[in-house]
Chain A
Amino acid sequence: GAGVSQSPSNKVTEKGKDVELRCDPISGHTALYWYRQRLGQGLEFLIYFQGNSAPDKSGLPSDRFSAERTGESVSTLTIQRTQQEDSAVYLCASSLVGLAGGTQYFGPGTRLTVL
């Protein structure tokens, strides 16, 4: 498909375990963003990649969170030693920065449940 894809769609894990979430952006999109949405809340910005560098990591909530991007393609968000408060939907978006506004297009999200 032509859209942003994410895997897995659902992940249930035990407190203390590490999880890895994957995002495949729209082909050719140079910018990639990670957000999370907790229950009843708006989307919360986590990190932004331009190419495979991350100029803005300001939204990462703790040092348990990290993200990588390979070239201008796939990105993985890793959460180490998960806590129950990490339970949320994690959303990835991509955009063609440089166009007017750089509109971000979102994937379907990964629902993470930490027991």
Chain B
Amino acid sequence: DQQVKQNSPSLSVQEGRISILNCDYTNSMFDYFLWYKKYPAEGPTFLISISSIKDKNEDGRFTVFLNKSAKHLSLHIVPSQPGDSAVYFCAANTGGGADGLTFGKGTHLIIQP
């Protein structure tokens, strides 16, 4: 039973355009959400997070939106750059962020020149 779902295994976006990665969750106890980026043969790198008390958090080109009623979050990357090509994982946890993370299976983002 997957509690965090990323339904798009891959996404192709043209350089300079907006990339939108989606994530759905089922556990209403989740109160902290994160996005990680992963290159091959490396560990995941933290990108951006959002607490359940907010609906938006922005950091440079990256914005995360949280819709609690729909149990949905999304990561927007604007503008997309070639270095953004990687696998993006959505993750969530409870306990104010202290617990182990529950991850989605990831979306492979490909930025085309």
Chain A residues in contact with chain B, CB under 8 A? 4, 31, 33, 35, 40-48, 50, 56, 58-59, 91, 93, 95, 97, 100-109
Chain A residues with CB below 8 A from B4, complex form: 42
Residues 91-113 of B at the A interface (beta carbon under 8 Å): 91, 96-106
Chain B residues in contact with chain A, CB under 8 A? 4, 6, 32, 34, 36, 41-46, 49, 51, 89, 91, 96-106
Chain A residues with CB below 8 A from B32, complex form: 101
Nearest Cβ on chain A to B68's Cβ, whole angstroms: 16
Given A56-B100, A101-B97, A108-B41, are A42 and B46 neighbors across the interface (CB < 8 Å)? no
Chain A residues with CB below 8 A from B106, complex form: 42
Q: A35-B101, A101-B97, A109-B42 are in contact. List 5 more A-B contacts (CB 8 A).
A: A33-B101, A35-B103, A42-B104, A43-B89, A45-B103
Contact of A4 among B34, B43, B98, B104 (CB under 8 A): B43
Whether A102 contacts B105 by the Cβ 8 Å rule is no
Chain A residues with CB below 8 A from B42, complex form: 108-109
Chain A residues with CB below 8 A from B97, complex form: 95, 97, 100-103
Whose C-beta in chain A lies nearest to the C-beta of B43? Answer: A106
Nearest Cβ on chain A to B14's Cβ, whole angstroms: 27
A4 to B32, CA, bound (A): 22
Whether A104 contacts B46 by the Cβ 8 Å rule is yes
